[in-house]
Amino acid sequence: MARGGPGVAWRWREYVDRSARQSPARLALGVFALVIAVVTAGLSAPWATASGRPAPFVDALFTAASASTVTGLVVVPTGEYWSAWGLVVILVAIQIGGLGVMTLASLLGMAVSRRIGLTQRLLVSSETKETRLGEVGSLIRTVIITSVALELIIAVVLFPRFLMFDESVGSAAWHSAFYAISAFNNAGFVPTPYGLEPFVSDWWVLMPIIIGVFIGSLGFPVILNVARHLREPRRWSLHSKLTVTTSLALVVAGSVLVAAFEWTNPDTFKPLGPSATALASLFAGVMPRSGGFSTVDVGEMHEGTWLLMDALMFVGGGSASTAGGIKVTTLAVMLLAILAEGRGDKDVEAYGRRIPREALQVAIAVSLVSATLVLVSSLLLLAMTGLTLDKVLFEVISAFATCGLSTGITADLPDGAKYVLTVLMFIGRTGTMTLAAALALRNRRRVIRLPEERPIIG
């Protein structure tokens, strides 16, 4: 027995190392799929539901995928349908999913070998964008410590407020912890049947959630880089500068436009006072970035607001963050390229740095592949449901961008449509990231270059 244990660990380590060398993306996707399978099994147990009856497989799988990919789309009311055990399983899935696919695969290698090897370092560096391989091991520990610390701060701020609502100490602590973890990981799950709508004008409850969602959407490389040089913004990396400035611009633009579109809507913002309207607008401007929470009925918003949120959800948050979408740096690089082309500049530049052409190529590829996935999924749902394009497109982009906002059609979708959205959530959380990593690694050097000829464009 003493010799059998190390042998199993050694063989498992060899398998992980071989898989990491041959196809790190496949290993990461496999580990993440395993997490979803385990969570599905946990939610399929009779004690996971409030009724004591096993959940239908499609509902358990959908919820497991939504929690593990930190999306937030639900086919059953979270606070009513699932038991305390089911909510704990969902919360654990959110926490694991928020750490990221590549980080999770590296933690698996560390658990087996008690140390992190070169292959695992290369694996996690593609997720965290950390180029100094010697720091990856400490980076993983820092990511976990940072996540838990920020979640704890949010929970501590929310706890006394929930106590004021005549909740018991245990209930207030549970709701505070659940909202803190769900907010920082951009998951959008709520533990209560009434959600956040009763708090539409409560700054104490909503502001910590807004801040948690925004920080979580920046990405761990940005959080760590900004924290190290908080008083010296000039020393921030180009990635941090692009992520922070683009994120702030999208929040401001989104909040102002949502307020403009919904100001006179009697079913959303019109009954609110000035302070509540400002808070609701800010909340609605931040949540499409991948947060997924809502304080008003999204299904009652104007179609123009849906289209605006479609755009915000599609962009998403920062790279190596808990948010989904094509990422804000992808948008920033393409906008800078358009600006450079308009000016006639040969190079794409920002903040005194030149952005390499390969980065633009990856940004274009990620955007086109993502748009194609949204197009194909929308066509499938239109054929399966017979719903209008505006609602289907909103649901599809929300699933792909792992956002979780919905116009209210999720629970009524047929099983086939639920499976489509489940696959889309998985691809949306892992696909664009692995695609970007794969394209970045495929940098071939050619001795002979073909003659150049410019086609007519536009």
Going from the C-alpha of 69 to that of each of 63, 72, 189, 398, the distances in angstroms are: 10, 8, 12, 12
Tell which wins on pLDDT, 391 or 15. 391
pLDDT tens digits, one per residue of 356-382 = 888 888 889 889 989 999 999 999 999
3-class SS of residue 50: coil
pLDDT tens digits, one per residue of 198-229 = 999 999 999 999 999 999 999 888 888 898 88
With a cut of 70, say whether residue 439 has pLDDT above it. Answer: no
- 353 falls within a domain: yes
Distance CA 417, CA 384 (A): 7
The pLDDT of residue 436: 55
- 450 falls within a domain: no
The pLDDT of residue 27: 67
Which value, to the nearest 10 degrees, does the dihedral of the CA atoms of residues 102, 104, 106, 107 take?
160
What range defines the domain where residue 338 resides?
Answer: 4-441
- 310 falls within a domain: yes
- 458 falls within a domain: no
Distance CA 156, CA 162 (A): 10
The pLDDT of residue 193: 81
CB atoms near residue 53 (< 10 Å): 8
- 318 falls within a domain: yes
- 449 falls within a domain: no
With a cut of 90, say whether residue 137 has pLDDT above it. Answer: no
pLDDT tens digits, one per residue of 328-337 = 999 999 999 9
The pLDDT of residue 103: 64
Give residue 254's identity as a one-letter amino acid code: G
CB atoms near residue 149 (< 10 Å): 10
Mean pLDDT of 87-108: 76
Structure tokens at 187: 């998951």
- 397 falls within a domain: yes
pLDDT tens digits, one per residue of 291-334 = 899 999 999 999 999 999 999 999 999 887 888 899 999 999 99
With a cut of 50, say whether residue 131 has pLDDT above it. Answer: no
- 451 falls within a domain: no
Give the chain's domain count: 1
Question: Which DSSP letter does residue 403 get?
Answer: -
pLDDT tens digits, one per residue of 78-97 = 989 999 999 999 999 999 88
